[in-house]
Amino acid sequence: MDVSSLQVVRLSDRPDLADPMWAATDEGWPAFMMHDPVGNLYYPRLERDLGDLCLMAITPGDEVIAKACFLPVTGSVDDLPDRGWDAIVERGIADHDAGRAPTMASALEIMVAPAARGLGLSTVMLDHMRRAVAELGLVDLVAPVRPSGKHAHQRESMADYLARRTDEGLPADPWLRVHARAGATIVKVAPESMVIEGTPEQWHEWTGVDFDHDGEVEVPEALAPVMVDLEADRVTYIEPNVWVHHDLRD
Ligand SMILES: CC(C)(COP(=O)(O)OP(=O)(O)OC[C@H]1O[C@@H](n2cnc3c(N)ncnc32)[C@H](O)[C@@H]1OP(=O)(O)O)[C@@H](O)C(=O)NCCC(=O)NCCS
């Protein structure tokens, strides 16, 4: 992959790339992440009226390799919701539809296609997002970050995971480290950023895991164990994220 040949465009400028954008999205996220009901508020709007808030890195052959999407919202950095991603999507869509003037922006997604990971593209996309937010005249960008290494420590609390640091004092988590290097500070944990529920059968389809006992079960790519209740025919996943703040005043 020749990173220097990539071009960053907005979905609103290249609506013809919606199909490859969805293909990259499906490939880039664990399948269960596509079943957060709050996503139904946001994803159908991407093509319709929020495409100017979605940046895509594309190859010369029009393949979508990465995306970075955000939403302007009302509210303040001092009062970020425990319901992280879910709450900020609900708020941002309501603000947009009511025509309220935003006071900050929230990142909703930065995704790099699996084949292009490890090449430094996440920093490039984050930088484009920071600039796009600043161009709107906003100086605070927040993000409910999904730490990319937390899945390997599912039973550790997020607070303990955040205490893991490199020798330089940066977050041990690779994705939080990218935000920190770009100048972000960690604000707090969002303990219930997404709630994803389904039957054991659905969760088996999404993860390949067989659910044969009640209680906490680790599934691949989750940041915490899911809770299984076989009698209720229910598997519930509550995803913790980490709110970070990029101060764009500098
Ligand atoms: C998180 C994600 C965006 C990172 O993108 P990327 O372009 O592969 O990351 P980069 O190449 O810029 O590397 C970023 C850091 O992660 C490290 N890294 C990359 N791949 C890694 C791996 N497989 N294991 C451990 N660390 C890794 C890099 O070394 C770098 O850290 P460093 O600069 O301090 O050494 C990407 O993995 C992804 O799209 N994941 C799925 C979607 C997601 O979770 N997005 C974040 C939602 S908030």
**pLDDT score recorded for residue 84:** 98
CB 35 within 8 A of CB 198: yes
**pLDDT score recorded for residue 250:** 74
18 lines ligand 1 (CB under 6 A): no
175 lines ligand 1 (CB under 6 A): yes
Residue 170 has pLDDT above 80, yes or no: yes
- Rounded distance between C-alpha atoms, residue 121 and residue 113, angstroms: 10
What is the three-class DSSP state of 29?
Answer: coil
Distances (CA, A) of 53 to 42, 86, 139, 195, 250: 12, 18, 16, 24, 22
- Rounded distance between C-alpha atoms, residue 158 and residue 50, angstroms: 32
Residue keyed to tokens 């400028």: 13
**pLDDT score recorded for residue 1:** 76
The pair of structure tokens assigned to 227 is 């809770």
Residue 30 has pLDDT above 90, yes or no: yes
Taking CA atoms only, the protein residue closest to ligand 1 atom 26 is 174
146 lines ligand 1 (CB under 6 A): yes
Going by C-alpha positions, the residue among 110, 18, 25, 108 that lies closest to residue 72 is 108
For a mutational test of ligand 1's pocket, the pick from 122, 125, 194, i.e. the residue with the most ligand atoms closer than 8 A to its C-beta, is 122
Distance of CA 130 to the CA centre of its chain: 15
Cα Rg of the chain (Å, integer): 18
Q: For a pLDDT cut of 90, what percent of the chain falls above it?
A: 98
Indicate the pTM of the whole model: 0.96
pLDDT tens digit string along 39-75?
999 999 999 999 999 999 999 999 999 999 999 999 9
What is the three-class DSSP state of 32?
Answer: helix
CB 133 within 8 A of CB 110: no
In CATH, which of 2.60.40.10, 3.40.640.10, 3.40.630.30, 3.40.50.150 is domain 3-194+240-247? Answer: 3.40.630.30
The pair of structure tokens assigned to 164 is 């893991």
3: pLDDT confidence band, cut at 50, 70 and 90?
confident
Taking CA atoms only, the protein residue closest to ligand 1 atom 15 is 174
Largest CA distance in the chain: 55
182 lines ligand 1 (CB under 6 A): no
Average pLDDT over residues 77-90: 98
What is the three-class DSSP state of 101?
Answer: coil
Average pLDDT over all residues of the chain:
97
Task: Report CA(213)–ligand 1 centroid distance (Å).
Answer: 33
